Amino acid sequence: MEKADIDRAHAALVRLRAALATVIVGQDPVIDVVLWALLGRGHVLLEGVPGLGKTLLVRALAKALGLNFSRIQCTPDLMPADILGTNVFSGDGFRFMPGPVFAHIVLADEINRATPKTQSALLEAMQERQVTVANLTHPLPDPFMVLATQNPIEMEGTYPLPEAQVDRFLFKAEVGYPTERELVEIIRRNTEGAGILLPEAALTREEVLLCQRVVQDFPVHAALLEYAARLVRATHPAERGAPEAVKTYVLYGASPRAGLALILGAKARAFLAGRFHLEVEDLQAVFRPALIHRVILNFRAEAEGVSPWQVLAEVLRTVPPP
């Protein structure tokens, strides 16, 4: 990779940010997490109440990236074949009809409304980046990114994602309510003129892949790798140096995937910021979205109303940086 490639990738990312900003009002932290996941070749779980612009964000992202996009509205009667695709008989025999998962950007809306069987099928595709139907393996397009949404309030008729499957999302983004100023802007844009127009494609597919390759090659100092490992290990209650909050409230700590998420997210964050080196702050900034869905609290924490972030903040405070 040449220096010119790095410069081209960075310029493409600048264009992408500008394109998203024309459509999405506020939600900068969510956009950041989505872009980190895109550059880290990961998937994102978006959690928030309805009407906060989650679907709009995903559609705008797909459009700005110049990639194809599909949306899966998850319901209890959704079957795996509805997502993955199926073999259909045509004149000359059976032919594979790809499902909506065969897209660059896939939005799995309200994923917790699908049955565990369907969830598993989707999550397997996310992890393997391929689909096997009737003993035939069909690779998913590259780049491939799933953005799943779930409503944290409405629990009736839902199937919460098992921990093992949640772990396959690189990051979890918590979509917050817009501020008053942002809300005014959202109302104005949706009620005046032609309404919201999706952005034009700001990048090509090759540029997206180039950006992902740059992040993959980004040099990381060994001290930061050790710091990431220490952070992840400190979430385990059996770990000797774990903080007291972890020992008291955590049932299961973060998996090794959390370490990958930390480093990939930190690299992407540094590159998005136009830097060619990592800072300790990069790791600390991605710590929350990378680990918040990977730490399982015990009953005592639930009874005492302790949130995962309260415990993780203690971990971040306790583990010394390099």
Partner 1 sequence: MAPGERAQRILARVRRGLWLRRGLLASSGAASVALGVAHLARSLGFFISPTLYLAFFVPLVLSVLWPLPWEKRLFWVGRRLRLGGKLAGLAAALNRGTESFLVPLLADLRVPLRRLYFPEALALFPPLLLGVLLVVGPTPVPRVLVTPEPPAQELPQTAEEEEKASLALKTEKEETAIPEIPQLPPGFSGSPPYPHLLSALFGEEVSLEEAVERLAQEEGLLRRLAELLREAQETGLTGEATAEIGEILEELARPDVRETLSQELAEGEEGLAQAEEAVAAALEGLARLQGEATGPEGQGSAQAGGELGDELAYENPDLWGEVVPDVVPNPSPRPEREEAEEGAGLGVGTEEGEEVATGAPEAQEREAQVVSAEVRPGEGPVRTGIHLAFPGESAATGPEIPAGLTPQQVELLLREGALPPELRELVRRYFELLAGGGS
Contact set with partner 1 (CB under 8 A): 1-3, 5-6, 217-224, 276-280, 321-322
- The amino acid that residue 135 corresponds to is N
Is the Cβ of residue 29 or residue 321 nearer to partner 1 in the bound state?
321
Task: Establish how many alpha carbons lie within 13 A of residue 2's alpha carbon, considering only the half-sphere containing its beta carbon.
Answer: 3
Is the Cβ of residue 217 or residue 302 nearer to partner 1 in the bound state?
217
Is the Cβ of residue 3 or residue 240 nearer to partner 1 in the bound state?
3
Q: Which residues of 123-160 are buried (b: 16+ CB within 10 A; e: fewer)?
A: bbbbeeeebebeeeebebbebbbbbbbbbeeeeeebbe
Output the smallest distance, CB 257 to partner 1, in A: 22
* Alpha-carbon distances of 37 from 31, 168, 196, rounded to whole Å: 10, 12, 25
Task: Establish how many alpha carbons lie within 13 A of residue 282's alpha carbon, considering only the half-sphere containing its beta carbon.
Answer: 24
Is the Cβ of residue 150 or residue 212 nearer to partner 1 in the bound state?
212
Residues 250 and 314: beta-carbon distance below 8 Å: no
Output the smallest distance, CB 215 to partner 1, in A: 12
- SS3 state of residue 52: coil
Taking each helix axis as running N to C, give the angle between helix 28-39 and helix 54-65, from 0 to 180 degrees, rounded to the nearest 10.
50
H helix runs in the chain, sequence order = 3-21, 28-39, 54-65, 80-84, 116-128, 163-166, 180-191, 205-217, 222-233, 244-249, 256-272, 280-291, 299-304, 308-318
Is the Cβ of residue 98 or residue 321 nearer to partner 1 in the bound state?
321
Is the Cβ of residue 202 or residue 283 nearer to partner 1 in the bound state?
283
Is the Cβ of residue 82 or residue 282 nearer to partner 1 in the bound state?
282
Output the smallest distance, CB 267 to partner 1, in A: 11
Output the smallest distance, CB 284 to partner 1, in A: 12
